C-alpha cells in the first residue's frame, strides 16, 4: 500500500524537485499540500491536478489520510513543525538542516522513539549510488590509508537579498545551506567524526555567513572545505589516500550540475571512471523512506547522523567566533 504524502509549504524547491520525486517514487502517493497562497497552490496543481490543498499547516496535519509529511520550510521552522507532525502521528522527512543547533535535535529523537514513527533529515545524497560506491571504495582500501579530504560547494545569489538563505531570521548562511553537504558527506563516506576544528575563516553579510573556509581534524585524517554563496557555481569532493585518490565531479547536484562520476586515480596514472547517468537521488530518498516505514528497512540517514553533522557545524561557528 502506498504511503500518502503531504507537503508543508509551497516552496520553489518542493515544486521543482520533491513534489515530482514523491509523485514518481514507488510506494508513495502525493496527496496534499498546505499553503495559504492561491498562486503557489495553482502552481502545484498545474502539475498535480488531484492535489488536495489545505490552507494551513495545522489543517494538513489533521488530515487522517496523510501518512507522511515533507517539510521544506525555512530552517528555523524545521524543529517546530517536525515535532508537531510527529505529535499528529505523521512520519516526517524534514529538509536540512533539521535544526539550527545540535541540542535541538534531542527532543526530536525522544519524540521519534516515543511515537515509533520515522523522522529524519532529507540528506538525499546518502541515497545516491555514487556516494555508496565512494564509501565502499574507502572501506575496501582502494586508495590505501585516507590522508586528506577536500570539498568545495558554491553558488552566487548576491542578487537575491530577500532569499531566505541571505536572511538571518530564516536561518540563512552558506554553512546551513551547503556546508551541511561538504561536512556531512565527509562523515558519511568515511564513517569518522571530527576531533577538532583547526581553522574557521568566515565572511559575513547581513548577519549570515556567505563564505566559509574551514579546516578540521578527524580521527585518522584531515579535511578542508570551502562553501560560498558569493562564488561561481562549483562543486567537487576529493578523498586523498596514500595509494590513490577518489574524486566526485557532481557530488551534490548530480544530473543537474553535471553527470555523476566517481574517478579512482591509482597506480601509475591509472584512472577508473564510474558513471551514474539518470539517477534521481530525490526519488531514491523517498522510496527508501517508504520502504523503511512499510518494511522496517534501515534508512541511510538518521536524526543521529543529522545531529552529528550539526555538531560539526556548531563547532565551526564556535571556532570562528573564538578566532
> What are the residue numbers of the active site?
96
Contact 41, 53 (CB under 8 A): yes
Measured N-to-C along each axis, helices 180-190 and 303-322 cross at an angle, to the nearest 10 degrees, of: 120
Q: Cβ-count burial of 19 within 10 angstroms (0-12 exposed, 13-18 middle, 19+ buried)? A: buried
User: In this structure, is the dihedral angle defined by the CA atoms of residues 265, 267, 269 and 273, taken in order, positive or negative?
Assistant: negative
C-alpha cell at 165: 538563505
Query: What phi-psi label fits residue 249: left (phi over 0), alpha (psi between -120 and 50 degrees) or beta?
Result: alpha
State the virtual CA torsion across 285, 289, 290, 293 in degrees, nearest 10: 170
Query: Helical H runs in the chain?
Result: 12-13, 19-24, 38-47, 57-61, 78-87, 105-115, 129-139, 174, 180-190, 281-295, 303-322
Residue 185: partners with Cβ closer than 8 Å, 6 or more residues away: 125, 131, 151, 237, 251, 252
C-alpha cell at 205: 553579510
Contact 160, 265 (CB under 8 A): no
Gap between the Cα atoms of 53 and 36, Å rounded: 9
Gap between the Cα atoms of 261 and 277, Å rounded: 8
User: In this structure, is the dihedral angle defined by the CA atoms of residues 224, 227, 230 and 233, taken in order, positive or negative?
Assistant: positive
What does residue 239 show for φ and ψ, rounded to 5 degrees? -120, 110
Amino acid at each position: 500500500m502506498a504511503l500518502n504524502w503531504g507537503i508543508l509549504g509551497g516552496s520553489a524547491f518542493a515544486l521543482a524537485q520533491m513534489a515530482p520525486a514523491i509523485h514518481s517514487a514507488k510506494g508513495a502517493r502525493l496527496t496534499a499540500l498546505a499553503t495559504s497562497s492561491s498562486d503557489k497552490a495553482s502552481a502545484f496543481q498545474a502539475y498535480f491536478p488531484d492535489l488536495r490543498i489545505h490552507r494551513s499547516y495545522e489543517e494538513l496535519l489533521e488530515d487522517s489520510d496523510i501518512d507522511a509529511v515533507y517539510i521544506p520550510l525555512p530552517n528555523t521552522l524545521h524543529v517546530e513543525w517536525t515535532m508537531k507532525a510527529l505529535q499528529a502521528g505523521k512520519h516526517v522527512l524534514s529538509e536540512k538542516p533539521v535544526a539550527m543547533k545540535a541540542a535541538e535535535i534531542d527532543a526530536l529523537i525522544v519524540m521519534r522513539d516515543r511515537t515509533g514513527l520515522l523522522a529524519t533529515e532529507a540528506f538525499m545524497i546518502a541515497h545516491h549510488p555514487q556516494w555508496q560506491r565512494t564509501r565502499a571504495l574507502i572501506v575496501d582500501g582502494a586508495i590505501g590509508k585516507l590522508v586528506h579530504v577536500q570539498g568545495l560547494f558554491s553558488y552566487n545569489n548576491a542578487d537575491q537579498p530577500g532569499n531566505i538563505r541571505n536572511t538571518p531570521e530564516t536561518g540563512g548562511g552558506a554553512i546551513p545551506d551547503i556546508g551541511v553537504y561538504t561536512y556531512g558527506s565527509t562523515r558519511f563516506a568515511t564513517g569518522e567524526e571530527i576531533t577538532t576544528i583547526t581553522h574557521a575563516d568566515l565572511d559575513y553579510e547581513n548577519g549570515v555567513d556567505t563564505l566559509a573556509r574551514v579546516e578540521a581534524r578527524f580521527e585518522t585524517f584531515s579535511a578542508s572545505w570551502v562553501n560560498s554563496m558569493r562564488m561561481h557555481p562549483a562543486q567537487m569532493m576529493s578523498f586523498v589516500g596514500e595509494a590513490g585518490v577518489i574524486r566526485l565531479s557532481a557530488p551534490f547536484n548530480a544530473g543537474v550540475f553535471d553527470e555523476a562520476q566517481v574517478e579512482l586515480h591509482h597506480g601509475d596514472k591509472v584512472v577508473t571512471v564510474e558513471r551514474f547517468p539518470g539517477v534521481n537521488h530525490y526519488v531514491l530518498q523517498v522510496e527508501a523512506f517508504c520502504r523503511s516505514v512499510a518494511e522496517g528497512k534501515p534508512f541511510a540517514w538518521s536524526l543521529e547522523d543529522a545531529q552529528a553533522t550539526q555538531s560539526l557545524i556548531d563547532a565551526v561557528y564556535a571556532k570562528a567566533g573564538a578566532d
